[in-house]
Amino acid sequence: MASYDPSKLKVTKNIGLNSVAFCVARVPNSQRLFFGSSDFKVYELDLAAEKPEPKAFNGDGHQSYVTGLALAGNTLISGSYDGRLMWWNTETKEAQRTVEAHQLWIRGVRVSPDGKRLISVADDMLGKIWNAETGELQHTLVDHKAMTPHNFPSMLFAAAFSPNGEWVATGDKVGHIAIWEVATGKKIAEVEAPGLYTWDPRQRRHSIGGIRSLCFSPDSKLLAAGGIGHIGNIDHLDGPARVEVFEWQTGKRTQEINDKQVKGLVQQIAFDPEGKWLLGAGGDNGGFATFYNLENGQQIHSEKFPMHVHQFALNESSDTLYAVGHHRVAVGEFKAA
Amino acid sequence: MSRTGSFFCGSADHGVSRRGFLGAAALGAAGTFAADMTQLNVLKQEVLANELKKQQKHVILLWLAGGSSQFETWDPKPGRPTGGPFRAIQTSATGVQISELMPKMAQRMQETTSVIRSLNTRNADHGGGAVLMETGRRDDPGIDYPDIGAIVARELGRIDSQVPDYVSMYTSTEGRRKGTSGFLGARYAPMFLSESMIPENIRKLDSISVVDHQDRAALRDMLAKSFQQSRKNDTVNSHTQAYQRVRGLMASEKLFDIEQEPEAMRAKYGPSQFAEQCLIARRLIEAGTPFVKVARAWWDSHGQNFETHRELCADLDHSMSTLLDDLKDRGLLENTLVITLGEFGRTPQINASLGRDHFASAWSCSLSGMGIKPGVAYGKTDPDGHKVAEGEATAGDLFATIMTALGVDPKKEYMIGARPIPVTDFGSKAIQEVLA
């Protein structure tokens, strides 16, 4: 029997930060977190401590926002808007390796389920698969277009490995998703989610949406993409949280969730290990974490978070989420009684 | 000075060089410059030679509607808590760095552009800020002030011009403002393009044939000349000029048609609407229009400021640099002032939506081309961009700087009844450091 109950989600811990935390990695079976920050640094934060305090990693580190983190054993890999990937020893907090990985801003870093591979995605519109241990570049994934259909720079925001480790998906600003074979780097499928591209052709003539989050289902058959729906006022993220779910091998969309009760970007998605629900978190000026029924797309429960959530990590029993975001770290629990 | 074709009607088949056009027109119309179609009196009458000189000057205002971020354009603060994720890059001007989102403009700073980083305009409301920056003074319920386009049209426009004096393009709907000629009157009101890049309502009615239209004009001319011979006065002249002007405007449609441009030139500007409107602006300037405003909306980045600026700065950087190159290649930049300005800047604080809000206490604009000393970064903000640290400038000071660059006396006064109204607000001072 599952240890979780989505209807019970509550924020149980809330810690202020001096900066914006964009990404998080969690040490397994612990409350020890690492987060990447708007002050260009990587921090450790042990929530089990009596007075949890962020401890910065050593050295000069990155030269811009740290927007991606992945933990592979004792090695933490960070990606930044400076285009670099950095490998860190989590015990000494010293940098071990720096790789000039991308020409433009790295938007995300993900590690494969076995911890052996890493993917980085960036605004040079490339996905790159790396050996997580050696830093060797294994494949460069070329597919996403540099310009939007309206001739503005596109952005490659999201990536996710499938739980079986065979595939990796990448998603961009205009709602194009490519699915790649990890072993060969070959593209094997495409999915289109144009409802996540928020181009306003008349009122404000720009866009801020895009695919901000991707996640495969536990059986690797479904792929969920998150972002924001049609925006009434593009200045304020004033649009519904939006998630689309696909049987990616056929391209068939199985769910289209356009949640008008919750405004803002869905910055991260997670599937229920048992396949019943989907969890999306993000925000506008505020933050949210919302559960949706996978069968009918209806909202199960939504909880306000004290900050716009940029990323979260679930614990092993999928009943606690560790969220980072705008000047805060928050813990949400949804344990069954 | 290299010059390619510069044409009034926009067709390569009827090419007349701009200089030739202006020269011939100036000689032919020398007697008409002193005429003023408004009912205003001007205290300082300019001598004809100065008027002739002014007629070759132009302004293009790139209006960044909604308010662009100074941090992501002209005044980056990399590594500061307020600085955002983007780096500063060195420009071609020694010691001047701008945001990495503006790489093409960085290459052109030393030759073309100066920035003012110390605007403190104290109005962070869209409507009020726009009025302030477009008129150079605070709104006054008692006086309907003209905006910069109308003032430039009046000061630099030719009374016998057959092209529009003031063209304003604003195609997005958010924050759309038509502009106003205020007390200068309808003669200097903008030709306002909102729905289409080609003006509506200037075409001949379908119910009138071309021959009929020409015959009517010829008949009117003949009668007018006969009438004028026995009744010489400004009112009659003005009436005749108004008809000539209407015919000129009707013939100016091709100026707005970028299909008239060689494909290579259109490719340089690229496909964005803003870029195409910049190309139209150049075509209008080349044909003699004194003032063109190209509004690019909407920069009001309360949410996702960095994504917004990554998108919009790419458009601005490319369009502005291409426009400056084009003006320079045609020998027009020395007589054209390009202003890049919005109603205000953005806050140093980054809000929870990763946005920046309205901010008028310490922000930036740029001036390029005519009358400007290029490569200057005037003024300074504090390390986090909260306050002006050096060289505080008001909207009036910017106005005075613009007018001085154009050769218009900022203290020149219009008389509204018995009340003198200076072109720029009382107490305004031109920023000499950015003037050539």
Q: Is the pLDDT of residue B19 over 60?
A: no
pLDDT tens digits for range A12-45: 999 999 999 999 999 999 999 999 999 999 999 9
Tell me, yes or no, if B85 comes closer than 8 A to chain A by beta carbon. yes
Mutation target vs A (from B80, B82, B302, B357; most A CBs, 10 A cutoff): B302
B270 at interface of A, judged by CB pairs closer than 8 A: yes
Q: Would you call A206 an interface residue with chain B, using a CB distance cutoff of 8 Å?
A: yes
- What is the mean predicted confidence (pLDDT) over B360-373? 98
Domain span holding position A23: 19-262
- The H or E element that residue B130 is part of is helix B126-135
Residue B352: list chain A partners with CB under 8 A: 283-287, 307-308, 326-327
Question: A337 lies in a domain?
Answer: no
In angstroms, the CA B125 to CA B113 distance is 28
Share of chain B above pLDDT 90, in %: 67
Instruction: Using alpha carbons, select from A241, A224, A218 the residue that is nearest to residue A287.
Output: A241
Instruction: Show the 3-state SS of B207-266.
Output: CCCHHHHHHHHHHHHHHHHHHHHHCCCHHHHHHHHHHHHHHHHHHHHHHHCHHHCCHHHH
Tell me: pLDDT of B1 over 50. no
What is the total count of domains within chain A? Answer: 1
- Mean pLDDT on A264-288: 96
Any bridge partners for residue A181, and if so which? A167
pLDDT of B215 over the 90 cut: no
Do A64 and B353 make contact, defined as CB atoms within 8 angstroms?
no
Residue A153 touches chain B, beta carbons under 8 Å: yes
Q: Determine, yes or no, domain membership for A139.
A: yes
Do A205 and B303 lie within an 8 Å CB cutoff?
Answer: no
Q: Encoding tokens for residue B5? A: 């074709």
Please state whether beta strands B191-193 and B166-169 pair in parallel, antiparallel, or not at all (unpaired).
parallel
Chain A residues with CB-CB distance to B85 below 8 A: 38, 64-65, 81, 105
The SS3 call for residue B350 is coil
Res. B32: pLDDT tops 90 = no
Which chain B residues are closer than 8 Å to A82 by Cβ? 87
Mean pLDDT within B128-137 = 96
Contact list, A238 vs chain B (CB under 8 Å): 303
Q: Provide φ and ψ at B435, rounded to 5°.
A: -95, 140
Cα separations in angstroms, B414 against A28, B55, B160, B261: 76, 19, 21, 40
What average pLDDT does chain B have? 85
Judging contacts by C-beta atoms under 8 Å, the chain B residues touching residue A39 are 81
User: What is the C-alpha to C-alpha distance for residues B24 and B6, in angstroms, rounded to an integer?
Assistant: 15
Is A208 in CB contact (< 8 Å) with chain B? yes
Integer angstrom CA distances of residue B409 from B50, B137, B178, B292, B423: 12, 17, 26, 21, 8
pLDDT grade, residue B37 (50/70/90)? very low
Does the pLDDT value for residue B389 go beyond 60?
yes
> A202: pLDDT confidence band, cut at 50, 70 and 90?
confident
Say if A326 falls within a structural domain.
no
Q: B26: which residues sit within 8 A by CB, 6+ positions away?
A: B52, B55, B158
Q: Do B353 and A307 touch (CB under 8 A)?
A: no
CA angle A147, A153, A158 (to 5 degrees): 90
- Note whether A39 and A60 are within 8 A (CB): no
B373-383: per-residue pLDDT in tens? 999 999 999 99
Contacts of B239 (CB under 8 A, 6+ apart): B224
| CATH label of the domain that carries residue A234 | 2.130.10.10
SS3 B193: strand
* Average pLDDT of chain A to the nearest whole number: 96
